[in-house]
Amino acid sequence: MNREVDHIEATRSCRDAKQAGQEPRDKLSATQEYQVDLPRIERAVREILLAVGEDPDREGLRETPARVARMYAELFRGLRLDPRRHLKKVFTEKYDEIVVVKDISFESVCEHHLMPFMGKAHIAYLPGGKVVGLSKLARVVEDVSRRPQVQERMTEVIADLLIEELDAKGVAVVVEAIHTCMTVRGIRKPGAICVTSALRGAFRTNPSTRAEVMTLIYNGRQ
């Protein structure tokens, strides 16, 4: 199948399924200095267990509220981090070809259902005189992924902060993910993959540069 058509259709069906086209663009704020209120989560989880007819005091569930509270603190720790910190150390380089890092695995949480979505992010940029350590791109994905969000916004947030912090001539971010809110509930379509992309700078405006970066990202894949 034509990869581009496949990609566009996947993107559209993802949008339709999640009605996320109207999400406001997330501009990353500075590091927020607050701690997760673990006791509050514990009380809420206990309420959920009571609401579904469970006995939160039975042996198997006794530690669950505390465990879930710690889990949320971990899954949402990106809310207290500023991913830009990874992009402060850049190197001046004359290299002016596309840099691509593929298959950066991540786990995030869908803000509509608070269920995990996970997959891979592929990042490409066209340096404008500055390059950054390749592992830093993976660290940016890690920080941004650890918050409640929709995949579309996550993709755009990563692209925006890379083009801003690196003064890159172009940035392309492609995210492929499986959403457990689609696989274990609701429409229940295991294996459905949502693909989203965000293109900035030359990758957006120059068709041949865009074709080149998409070939690099999808090279060797279906």
How far is Cα 32 from Cα 24, in angstroms, rounded to an integer?
A: 20
Closer to Zn ion by Cβ: residue 114 or 211: 114
Helix (H) or strand (E) holding 195: strand 194-201
The question of whether 22 is a catalytic residue gets the answer: no
- The single residue of 110, 142, 156, 165 carrying the catalytic annotation is 110
The question of whether 7 is a catalytic residue gets the answer: no
To the question of whether residue 110 is assigned a binding role by annotation, the answer is yes
The question of whether 194 is a catalytic residue gets the answer: no
How far is Cα 95 from Cα 127, in angstroms, rounded to an integer?
A: 7
Closer to Zn ion by Cβ: residue 18 or 122: 18
What is the DSSP secondary structure assignment for residue 76, as one 8-state letter? Answer: T
**DSSP-assigned states of every residue in 124-156:** EEE-SSEEE-HHHHHHHHHHHHSSEE-HHHHHH
To the question of whether residue 181 is assigned a binding role by annotation, the answer is yes
Instruction: Name residues contacting Zn ion, limited to 99-118 (CB under 5 A).
Output: 110, 112-113
Query: With CB under 5 A as the contact rule, which of the stretches 42-50, 66-74, 178-186, 206-214 interacts with Zn ion?
Result: 178-186
- The single residue of 42, 151, 156, 176 carrying the catalytic annotation is 151
Residue among 20, 144, 163, 181 that touches Zn ion (CB under 5 A): 181
Largest CA distance in the chain: 64
Half-sphere exposure of residue 218, counting CA atoms within 13 Å on the CB side?
17
How far is Cα 118 from Cα 176, in angstroms, rounded to an integer?
A: 8
Query: With CB under 5 A as the contact rule, which of the stretches 52-60, 159-167, 180-188, 205-213 interacts with Zn ion?
Result: 180-188
- The least CB distance from residue 27 to Zn ion, in Å, is 23
How many residues bind Zn ion, per CB under 5 A? 4
Which residues bind to Zn ion, rule: CB under 5 A?
110, 112-113, 181
**Which residues belong to the active site?**
110-113, 151, 179, 181
